[in-house]
Structure 1
Amino acid sequence: MPLQEEIDKTRKEIRTDSYSMSIGEWISLYENNEVNIYPEFQRYFRWSDHQKSAFIESILLGIPIPPIFVSQRDDGVWDVVDGVQRLSTIYEFVGILKKDEQEEDKEQEKDDVPVSLQKTTYLASLEGKKWDDPNDPENSLTQTQRLLIKRSKITVNIVEKESDPIIKYELFLRLNRGGSPATPQEMRNCILVMLNKDLYELMRSLANYESFRNCIALSDRLYEEKYDMELVLRFILLFDKDQKNIEKLGGDVNEFLTDKVREIATNKELDYRHIETAFKRTFDILNETTGDNSFKRYKSEQDRFLGKFILSAFEVVALGIGYNYKNLPTTNLISDKIKSIWSNQTYQKWSGAGVNTVRRLPYLIPLGRGVFSAS
């Protein structure tokens, strides 16, 4: 298809609108449940208290605020695609942010305590200021200051409901790929929430599955970066993938995972029960046999597992057992088969430092399928 035809066709699939709205109107939309800021996003895109105070300072000083991007649902409600922190900062400061959208680690008894601002670059007197605290009027904004905020305007860019449903995903990805503080998997989690909440919930439940957590034994940092969810995603995408498609894998692994999230999230025929059964069977077996040694380096001369979690071992062991979960060797052989992988020439060649993750998968995945086949 010629370029101009592609441009014309795709432009017709994207219906948008934009206009300025006062912060008072944004507050009213939220109070009436007409805008959704996704609690899941709030956990991934978290501003510091200083950033929140600086944002309120910008509003008071009349500094232009970047537009909020929303996607309109069939029921008319707006899903916020970009601007979660800006809106949640306003709602939190005003005192209307819903409790289930507060940070998970916030103490329950502090939920109703008015938010206090910090000193900022141009407004040192903002320190300790609150929206409107009847018990502390001296440190509350005046009515004039509150109205100044409520009458300030923020542009909204709307992807209308008539647009191609996947446009919301594309918009989120392109707006947040740049300076986002989120990790690639946190970004993918947000995409999943938008495209397929059921799949997101399944992945989250699998990531919390006790046998899985026992076997991967990740550091606190990796859990914070949602690496456990990335491992769940890798399993779902690859454990029963057709061999011909495995041979075609290539490119950057993060691009591959992100592209495939979109693909499986929109797959109407995705077999959730098959995925859950294979996953739980895999990690129940590993938890019973090798536990937190399942993906660690095996030293034959010492007959022991050493070190930390190794992804290439996961790609052979977890994906190999997952593929064969209906036809596995007896449980007492699993540990010996895991140990044998470390002396396997294919594994040694394709698991070393510097080997591109996606390039090694066409070699490591078939290796695992062969090792853990009962036939």
Structure 2
Amino acid sequence: MALGISEIIDEKIGEVRFEALDLSFGEIASLHTQRELVIDPDYQRLFRWSEDQRSRLIESVLLRLPLPQIFLIENQDGVLELIDGLQRVSSVLQFIDSALLKLAPLKLDGCDIIPELNGLLFSDLSLSVRLSLKRTPIRAVIIKKQSKGFLKYEMFKRLNTGGSILSSQEIRNCSLRMLDGGAEFYSNLQSFANFPHFMNATSTLSDADREQKVDEELVVRYFALKNGRDLFKGSVRDWLDKYLEQILVEEHNFDWESERLIFNELFHLISQTFDSGAFVKYRDGKPIGALAPAYFEAVTMGIMENFEVASSLETENLRLRVTEALESNEFRGQTGPGANSRPKLNKRIEIIADAIKA
């Protein structure tokens, strides 16, 4: 007999085990020092908060203003990892003892309720105020090690989706680590993003894009284009998430060695042919602007799916065929508004493929 909704809910509730407790900032600092609590910038990069934001957080703690709860996961060895709340925790730890995070001391600046705090270091405060700060508790929710990996993964995604300061790929990278095999998958993903010819071909990415892991997202997009295009339904973020979940949750086979060979050969050819102008718009045969994802999709797949023909062409001939196609009205008609649809995606790839085979 099929389970009812209430039974299904009860069953799922049992798959996530957690406990909530109050931890003082002094206790958090001690746990981190003893390596019983990992504060890993791979989850959320340290200090996108400005100095003013960090200072106002310290001011809020001193005033006993309510703070949002933080989330930690318990690893199999019992060590805790902070997965949500790094900005808050790191701001306080930097102020209390900057050596804990190997950062410069935080001098308060931007406090507007108690402006007298501005310009002060932790050591400038009285003993009673220092102790009060260290003893201030914050509610911590700990996801226990007995919880199922996929639900921990989903929790992180939902905590950090919508109004988040993290990019989609940063959330994806952190979420992956909660799945069996996810850490290894992410390590391999990074190695692909660091392949010299890939780095050269994507060198028109801005520093801000690289900081937000857009280069790693392009590697994921390449794999999804190559192996999971049928999953695409208009939302790139959902598509890439679904593709990775198929590999790691549903355990679809992924042969890293064969994929690495294809990837290296493809981007070696692309880099050799276009240098840094591989995935940009063209005007009068000249590359313009920054990397455009729609152009990345079309060029990588158009060449990969016709690699034998493409690699047999003279470098200048291949470059001319592809750039003329990219500059055509037909191709441009498949970009811009409404470009994130499967028919337009397939048409862009087809245009580049036809140009190569012409």
Q: What is the TM-score when the length of structure 2 is the normalising length?
A: 0.86
Retained in 2: the 8 A contact 1:324–1:372?
Answer: yes
Provide the rounded CA distance (Å) in 1 between the counterparts of 2:287 and 2:67: 54
Residues 45, 181 of structure 1: 8 Å contact kept = no
2:109 aligned residue (118, 134, 141)? 118
Pair 1:251-2:234 in alignment: yes
Relative to structure 1, the CA distance from residue 88 to residue 194 in structure 2 (aligned partners, 3 Å threshold; closer, same or farther) is farther
Q: Which 5+ residue runs of structure 1 have no aligned equivalent?
A: 103-110, 133-139
Q: Retained in 1: the 8 A contact 2:231–2:242? A: no
Identity across aligned pairs (percent)? 31
Alignment match, 1:262:
245
- Taking the TM superposition and a 5 Å limit, the aligned residue runs for 1:6-85 are 6-43=8-45, 46-85=48-87
Residue 230 (str. 1) matches residue 217 (str. 2):
yes
Does residue 321 in structure 1 map to residue 303 in structure 2? Answer: yes
Task: Answer yes or no: is the 8 Å Cα contact 1:240–1:322 preserved in 2.
Answer: no
Instruction: Choose from 166, 185, 188 the match for 1:199.
Output: 185
Q: Distance in 2 between matches of 1:3 and 1:230?
A: 36
Greater CA drift, 171-180 or 191-200: 191-200
Q: Which residue of 1 aligns with 2:292?
A: 310
Aligned to 1:2: 4
CA distance in 2, matches of 1:97, 1:158: 26
Tell me, which stretches of 5 or more residues in structure 2 are unaligned? Answer: none
Residue pair 2:20, 2:141 contacting (<8 A) in 1 also: yes
Aligned residues: 349
Alpha-carbon separation, structure 1, partners of 2:305 and 2:257: 15
Deviates more, 1:317-326 or 1:80-89: 317-326
Per the alignment, do residues 71 and 344 of structure 1 end up closer, same or farther by CA in structure 2, a change over 3 Å counting? same
Distance 1:29 1:339, change over 3 A: same
Q: Deviations over 1:164-220 (max 9, x none)?
A: 112222111111213322222222232234442222233223323332232232233
Change (3 A) 1:114 1:250: closer
Q: C-alpha displacement at 1:3, in angstroms?
A: 1.8
| Other-structure match for 1:209 | 195
Between 164-173 and 304-313, report the one with greater CA deviation: 304-313
- What do you get for the CA RMSD once the two structures are aligned? 2.8
SS in 1 for 2:72: strand
CA spacing shift, 1:284–1:169, aligned 2, 3 Å: same
Query: Mean Cα displacement is larger for which, 187-196 or 365-374?
Result: 365-374
Alpha-carbon distance between aligned partners in 1 of 2:304 and 2:239, rounded to the nearest angstrom = 20
| CA distance in structure 2 between the partners assigned to 1:235 and 1:201 by the alignment | 16
Deviations 1:14-58 (A, max 9, x none): 111112122222121111111112122342662111111111111
Paired residues of 1:72 and 1:79 also in contact (CA < 8 A): yes
Task: Name the SS for the 1:21 alignment partner.
Answer: strand
Is the CA contact 2:98–2:106 (under 8 Å) kept in the aligned structure 1? no
Deviation per CA, 1:109-140, whole angstroms, max 9, x where unpaired?
xx4x53211241211111122223xxxxxxx1
**Contact in 2 for aligned 1:88/1:97 (Cα 8 Å):** no
Secondary structure of the 1:39 match is coil
Q: Distance in 2 between matches of 1:168 and 1:229?
A: 22
The TM-score with structure 1 as length reference comes to: 0.82
Match of 1:218 among 184, 205, 213: 205
Q: Distance in 2 between matches of 1:277 and 1:97?
A: 43
Distance (whole Å) between structure 1 residues aligned to residue 20 and residue 158 of structure 2: 18
The answer to whether the Cα contact below 8 Å between 1:206 and 1:276 also exists between their aligned partners in 2 is yes
* Higher mean displacement: 1-10 or 328-337: 328-337
The change in CA–CA distance for 1:47 and 1:348 in structure 2 (over 3 A counts) is closer
State the partner residue of 1:271: 255
